[in-house]
Structure 1
């Protein structure tokens, strides 16, 4: 199963050159770029751990790529994403977010359907335990 959160999630993983291009786009727009990581990619978990502080006032994506390389060294077994935050008046929110690193084995989720009072249906997303391959 492939986790599909954020921009480009239905495409093959971006190469570092493609990531560089997207980061450069964010910087050209004046957006602050930040790197985040998690081992809990549940769709409702929007608060990932930040790698350092958001990077303001950068002109070249090389600085972000350097930080991404360091984050991958430490947390290469987790999900890592890059976000571009637009602080301009009227937006003041994340404009782009995409996964740039995945663990060797993807997390798996199951959609559980439950009928409740009044013929209503409730859906819950549940994380499945990882299935390890037999030797």
Structure 2
């Protein structure tokens, strides 16, 4: 099952050249960029691990690509995404987010149904990956 989160998630994986163009656009808009990774891509897991520090006031696409390649070397079997934040209104709003690295096998999610008060049905889902302990999921 292919995880679909963020911009471009229904398209084939971006090449490095396409990633550079997206980063160049974000830099041209003066957006802050950060790189995050996780082994638990649950849609409600908003707190991915941050790679290094957020890249504020970056004017060079190659410095972002260097950080990205460093993250890929360290976490090649995990999900990695790039986020861009716009602070023109005084708050950091995420305006661009896309996955740039995936594990070779994506196990998908399990739908869990349970009964509630008055025979109402509640549905939730969890990642099959979380059946294994953190650090050994992929």
Question: Distance in 1 between the 2:129 and 2:99 partners?
Answer: 22
- How far apart, in 1, do the equivalents of 2:117 and 2:45 lie? 28
Question: Which residue of 1 is the match for residue 136 of structure 2?
Answer: none
- The TM-score, its normalising length taken from structure 2, stands at 0.86
Name 1:84's counterpart in structure 2. Answer: 84
Alignment match, 1:29: 29
Q: Which stretch of structure 1 is more off in the superposition, 109-118 or 72-81?
A: 109-118
Q: CA RMSD in A?
A: 1.7
The answer to whether the Cα contact below 8 Å between 2:32 and 2:56 also exists between their aligned partners in 1 is: yes
- The 1-side partners of 2:129 and 2:81 are apart by 23
- Deviating runs (4+, > 4 A) in structure 1? none
Q: Any idea what the Cα deviations from partners look like across 1:11-31, whole Å, max 9, x if unmatched?
A: 000000011111111111110
Distance 2:10 2:67 in 1: 25
Counterpart of 2:134 in structure 1 is none
Aligned-residue offset at 1:107 = 3.4
Counterpart check, 1:96 vs 2:99 = no
Question: Could you tell me how far 1:6 is from its partner in structure 2?
Answer: 0.7
Note the residue ranges of structure 1 that are not aligned, 5 or more in a row. Answer: 131-135
Residue 37 of structure 2 aligns to a residue whose secondary structure is: strand
TM-score by length of 1: 0.88
CA drift of 1:112 comes to 2.7
CA positional deviation for 1:43? 1.0
1:4-51 superposed Cα distances (whole Å, 9 cap, x missing partner)? 111110100000001111111111111000000001111111101111
